[in-house]
Amino acid sequence: MAIPQPSEGTLFAASMEVRHDCVVGNLSRKFPGVRIFHWCVNNRDVLQASGRDADLESFRDAVVSGFGGRQVYATGDGIIMVTEDHMCSTVKTRTVTSIIASAGVWDIPPVVYREGWESWRSDQSLREMFREIRKIGELRIVSMRPIENLQMEKMMLMPASDIFAGLTSKQSGAVLLGLRHGYYSLPSGTDIQRLADGAGLSSSTFSEHLRKAEARILQNLRPYLEAYALRAPGDLAVAEVRGTPPPRGRATDGVPAESS
């Protein structure tokens, strides 16, 4: 496939498949019936795997015995696991991740593995990156296109470290417990007292962990929300609290009031 020479400032989005010697890729070759989604998060790995029950059980045992960790929970689509050790840290050779980083390209997680092939998505100038990847393994370019008229939401690659910065283990545990038991469903599947009992805490203590976690996550997301919103919600919120009209130039006519 011919690779176009980008003009200055041009961004390209590419999808590619790679097969080479790497930890998760080797697991994918060992368990070809398992589809693996892979995220690197804070020196650990999050794996979502789907396939037949027998294959998933063998895959889980291989991950636990090789890298520690545990199954977080099962879903209708398979299992989700978190490792104790960063799987990529055991690799002594060059990796696709290191090549992408050295080329100044953004990789867009997750990486998807099936039958030993890794499916990657990336942005920016790609010619040198492709050349280097071919030195370590097979490469199939699935698609490549120039990015024009970038929409804000397409550029919001939010690192987990940004979203969850400042959360304590008790706070993150409270949110996870609420999510797993349907607290945030409509209608809610449980209440604070049941969640607190399950966590072995008083309802007031559990509520405090939950409120602090929710407030921290929302504060961390605020810059992204402000950039995404089309009508400057921060300015509108301040104006509404003060009882003053919103700044001129804001298109509010015809926008219905939102109920909680």
Residue 204 has pLDDT above 60, yes or no: yes
Please tell me which residue, 152 or 54, carries the higher pLDDT value: 54
> d(Cα 226, Cα 98) in Å, to the nearest integer?
32
Write down the mean pLDDT value for the chain.
75
| Cβ 209 vs Cβ 170: under 8 Å | yes
Mention the CATH class of domain 160-242.
mainly alpha
> d(Cα 63, Cα 69) in Å, to the nearest integer?
8
Structure tokens at 117: 């092939």
Tell me how far the alpha carbon of residue 218 is from its chain's centroid.
Answer: 16
Our CA dihedral for 165, 169, 172, 178, rounded to 10 degrees, sits at: -170
pLDDT score, position 30:
93
Residue 41 has pLDDT above 90, yes or no: no
Helices 23-30 and 53-67: angle between axes, nearest 10 degrees:
150
In terms of Cα–Cα distance, which of 43, 46, 87, 37 is closest to 70?
Answer: 46
> d(Cα 144, Cα 165) in Å, to the nearest integer?
34
Which residues is 118 bridged to in the sheet? 18, 113
Identify the DSSP state of 110: P
pLDDT in tens, 47-60: 889 999 999 999 99
Structure tokens at 84: 């104790």
Please tell me which residue, 219 or 152, carries the higher pLDDT value: 219
188 pLDDT tier (thresholds 50, 70, 90): very high
Domain boundaries, the chain: 11-147, 160-242
| Cβ 178 vs Cβ 209: under 8 Å | no
pLDDT in tens, 105-119: 767 777 888 888 888
Residue 141 has pLDDT above 60, yes or no: yes
Identify the DSSP state of 7: P
In terms of Cα–Cα distance, which of 44, 38, 34 is closest to 78?
Answer: 34
> d(Cα 219, Cα 167) in Å, to the nearest integer?
11
pLDDT score, position 101:
77
Residue type present at position 100: I
> d(Cα 25, Cα 112) in Å, to the nearest integer?
10
214 pLDDT tier (thresholds 50, 70, 90): very high
> d(Cα 54, Cα 81) in Å, to the nearest integer?
16
> d(Cα 193, Cα 214) in Å, to the nearest integer?
18
Name the burial class of residue 213, with classes exposed (0-12), middle (13-18) and buried (19+) by CB atoms within 10 angstroms of its CB.
buried
Backbone angles phi, psi at 240, to 5 degrees: -65, -40
Q: How many CB atoms neighbour CB 206 within 10 A? A: 24
| Cβ 250 vs Cβ 235: under 8 Å | yes
